[in-house]
Structure 1
Amino acid sequence: MTEGEGTTEERPRLKEYEGEGITVTFEPRRCLHAAECVHGLPEVFDLSRRPWVLPGAAEPARVAEVVRRCPSGALQYHHRPEDAVPEPPDSPTTIRRTPAGQLVVRGDLVVAGPYGDRHETRVMLCGCGASGNQPYCDHSGPCAEPDDEDVPEAR
């Protein structure tokens, strides 16, 4: 990257939590606090303890189900490397604009950002241009207004 090109943002920080048969990753900057995780599986996701994610506290299939409810994609999962089973993308790919303007996208995605292309299965993209975490929404623009409809229903 040359001077004046790109961004001064830090590379996204990714935290990893290993459990028996499943690993959960968390990217704090993408979390929009939809609380699908803590409401869906409080024995695994508990903000009052450290570490706050204990993937081994529930069956891997149940952990995966709840992680897939995370609309922003801040939470992801993968099974043991020897199983090589990544999170399956929704098919067909869907795009929905929330009343606040975010784009909720689910499917087999490649998202271009300041650090190159990222393969994703779930994202909430900024629709207003005000996010400091482009192309992802960070609720710093008009989408910061309360919006009960911005969380897609679990499948």
Structure 2
Amino acid sequence: MTDRTSERAPDETPKLKEYEGEGITVTFEPRRCLHAAECVHGLPEVFDLSRRPWVLPDAAEAGLVAEVVRRCPSGALQYHPADGSVEHPDSPTSVRRTPSGQLVMRGDLLVSGAYGDRHETRVMLCGCGASGNRPYCDHSGPCAEPDDDVPEAR
């Protein structure tokens, strides 16, 4: 297992951390993480923020790791199975607007932004225009409140 950080010029590709396992590699794009915690709740043996590296892809079966990564609503976590297969987008594509304005999208997506056009399967896009990581939401504007994922906070 390796923890590699890839840093390139801002217009080339985003900063990614790569966690390589025997059956699956998990990548993490920190600027897109909105702390939904689907990963740490779904597989705490794989995703543990108190440990370095915080992702251990071999701590669970590759298919289970992929299933939990697909729960990441922002797309900050991605996976690449060792067999070369890819994540299949949801079909049909779905778009949901949260009460505070973010657009949660799942499907076969083409997103244009600072890094050019990117094919995506899961994204949370900024609805207020204040994100420092446009078009992706980074919770830096009015969309940050209330917490749309906690019904009691709405």
Q: TM-score, normalised by structure 2?
A: 0.87
| Contact kept in structure 2, 1:71 and 1:124, CA below 8 Å | yes
3-state SS, counterpart of residue 76 of structure 1: strand
3-state SS, counterpart of residue 89 of structure 1: coil
**Amino acid in the other structure paired with 2:19:** Y
Moved over 3 A (4+): 8-11
Give a deviation string over 1:31-90, Cα, whole Å, max 9, x none. 00000000110000000010000000000010001000000000000111xx22111100
Corresponding residue for 2:121?
Answer: 121
| Contact kept in structure 1, 2:126 and 2:138, CA below 8 Å | yes
Q: Say how many residue pairs are matched.
A: 141
| Contact kept in structure 2, 1:37 and 1:67, CA below 8 Å | yes
**Aligned counterparts of 1:148 and 1:31: Cα–Cα separation in 2:** 15
| Contact kept in structure 2, 1:16 and 1:26, CA below 8 Å | yes
**Amino acid in the other structure paired with 1:98:** T
| Contact kept in structure 1, 2:36 and 2:72, CA below 8 Å | yes
**Amino acid in the other structure paired with 2:26:** V
Corresponding residue for 2:89?
Answer: 89
Corresponding residue for 1:131?
Answer: 131
Give the unaligned 5+ runs of structure 1. 1-7, 151-155
**Amino acid in the other structure paired with 1:40:** G
Corresponding residue for 1:147?
Answer: 147
**Aligned counterparts of 1:23 and 1:149: Cα–Cα separation in 2:** 28
Give a deviation string over 1:86-132, Cα, whole Å, max 9, x none. 11100000000000100000001111111211111000000010000
Judge which range, 71-80 or 10-19, deviates more: 10-19
Give % identity: 82
